[in-house]
Structure 1
Amino acid sequence: MKYLFIFLALLAVPFLAVSGQVNLGDRCKLQTVNAEKGRELLTKNDVYLQRLTSFERAARLRLKRPVSAAEFKSYIRHSVKDWTPAEEKIILAALARCSSKLKNYYHLLPENIYVIRTSGQEECNTTGYTRGKAIILSDTIFKQSRQEVEFLLMHELFHIITRHNPGIREPLYALIGFKKCIEPSLPAALEKRRITNPDALYNDYAIKVLRNKCHYWVVPRLYISHTFVSPATQGRLFDYINMVFVVVSKGDTAKPGQISCEPYLMGMGEVSGFFEQVGRNTFYVIHPEEILADNFALMIVGHVENKKIVNRNLISKISAVMSAWKPAGN
C-alpha cells in the first residue's frame, strides 16, 4: 500500500519534458528507449563485456557450467523490456525534479544519455547500473520511495559524467585519498572468482592505510565467496560478494604508482586511516568511483535512508572540482 501512494504521487508531479525525454541544459538529451534500442546498446561488445570471465557470466545467470559471451548476450536480450507509460513518467519526473540542481554540471554531460529498462536479472538483480552513455534500471526501482529513485538516478548519472570526462577522475579521486596506480591482480584462487563492476571497470587507484604502524598502498577488489554455489544458493549474488584490499606497496616512503611487492591481502578490519580519508557520508566503499557517486547523489538530492551528509566539506570540494572542470575540446 505504501508504494501505491508513492506511485500515485509521482504520477501527479508536473515536469518539463517531451515524451520520453528530459533536456538537461542546452546540450544533453536524456531519453528512455524501447526494448529494441536497449538490446542494441547492451549487446555491443564494449570493455565491460570483454572483461567478463566465463565464471562471472555463469554466476550472473546462476549456472554451474561455463557460459560463453554469445550465450550471455542472448540472456541480456531477453532481459530488456519496453517501458510502460507509467514507469516512464516516474523516471522522467524524478530527473526533471533534479534538473535545476544539476545546472553547474551541465557542461560535463554528453549530448545523449539513454535510459534502458530491464528485468535486472542480467546484472545480479541490481536496481541500476550504467554501460557507456546508458543508465539501466530494473524492476526493483519501482519499489523505492520518490527520494530513493532520485538518489539512484543521480548516483548513476555521476558514472556517466566520469566516463564521458575520464580526466576528471584523478582530481576527484584524490579528494578521498586515492592515487593512480597499476591495476593489481588478486591471488590466483580469487582472481578466478573476481567480479567486474560495470560502473567502475578498472581497479587502478590505491589509497594509503596504516597497519601495525606501517603504511601500505592498497586497492579495493571484489570477489565472489566460495560459499556461492549456483544455482542452488539462496539469496542474491550480491550477498556473496566480498571486498579485500590488495597491497601494491608498503613502507612510509612507498609510492602508489608502481607495484613494489608481491600482492597480498588485507581486510578492512586490519587497517586504520581509511574512513578518515573517504569520509562517512556513505559506507558503499567498494571503489572510489562508488564513494564519489554516492556523495554526488547526496549533493543533489540530500539525505536518504542509511545515507546522510556527515562530511559536508567533502561535498563542497567535489562540487568545486566538477564545476570548474573544462571538458576536453572546450
Structure 2
Amino acid sequence: MRTTEVMRAVVVRTPGGPEALDLETLPRPVPGPRQLRVRVHASALNRTDMLQRAGGYVLPPDAASPLLGVEVAGVVEAVGEAVREWVPGQRVFGLVNGGGYAEACLMEEGMAVPIPEGWSFVEAAATPEAYCTAHESLLELGGLREGQSVLVHAGGSGIGTACIQVARAVGARVFFTVGSEEKHRRCLGLGAEAGVVRTQADFAAAVLEWTHGRGVDVIEDFVGGAALERNLRALCFGGSLLLVGLLDGLRGDADLKQVVLRRLQIKGMALRPLSLDEKVAVTKRFRERWLPELVAGRVRPVIDSTFPLERVRDAHRHMESNASFGKIILEL
C-alpha cells in the first residue's frame, strides 16, 4: 500500500486510561459523495474523548469513524463526487463525526468552514465545538439576551471560556465557577463580572448575593447531579438550567416543588447525537453569527497548550488533571 493511502492514527484497542492510546498505521478514509477528506493539521481534545477512550461513551449511529476526535483543522485533500463548494487545497475547520485523532479524516461538506486569513490551524481547531456549544446552549436553548445574567460552571474549560465571551457579546452579566485562583483571574480577564473557586465558597449563595437575591436567568452546567440542588436554588423565577455535561453525577436530589412553583426549566444538550441535518444547521448558525466576531477579534478561542500527536497520552493526562485553561490541541 502506497504511503499516500495510509495514515498515522490514534487507536484504542482496549478501553482504559491514557495508556490505552496507541499510534498505528491505518488506511486513509475514502470520502463519500458529499464528504471531504481533510489532511488534519490540528485536532482539539474534548471530554467525550476521555469517556470514549475509557469505554464509557456509546458512538452515535452516524459516526463516520470509531476513532477519537470531533473537531479538526486542515487542508482538503480529496472530495466526494457530489461536492461542489470545496476543492483540494482549501483550508477548512469544523466538527467531524469521529476520526479527528489521525492524519486524515472525513468531514461532511455542510460542516466545513473556511479558515479565516491569518488564522493558524491550532486557532481554527480550538473553535468549533466550544462556540457551537456556547451558541446552541446559551442562545438557542437558554434564550439568553441583553440585560440578563448567566452562571457558567467550569469557566476555565474550552466551552466555558467561549460561553463567557458569547454571553458578554450579547450584553449579559456573566458569573462563573472555576477550580483555582489562577483560573478565576483569567475568567475575569475574559469579561466575566464575578466568580468563585468552587472549593472555597457556595456558588448558589454567591449568585444570590451578586444578584441581590434574584438569581440568574441561565446556568450553563457541566457538573450534573452533584450540583443540581444548588443550581436550582441559584436560578431566578422562570430561569433555565442547561445541562451540557455530567462530569460529577448522572443523578441528583432536588426539591421538584421549586421547579413547579418557580417555573424553572431544565434542558439538556449535546452536539454529537444530532442528525447530520441538525449539525449542518448548527454549523450554519455558527458561521453566520460568530465567525465574523472571531475574525474581528471581538471573541477568540482560548488555547491552553499544544501537543504533538506522538504525545497524545500526555495530552489526555493534562486534560484529566483539570489544570488546563481553554483548549488542548494535538498538532500533526
TM above 0.5, one fold?
no
Structure in which a larger fraction of residues adopt strand? 2
Structure in which a larger fraction of residues adopt helix? 1
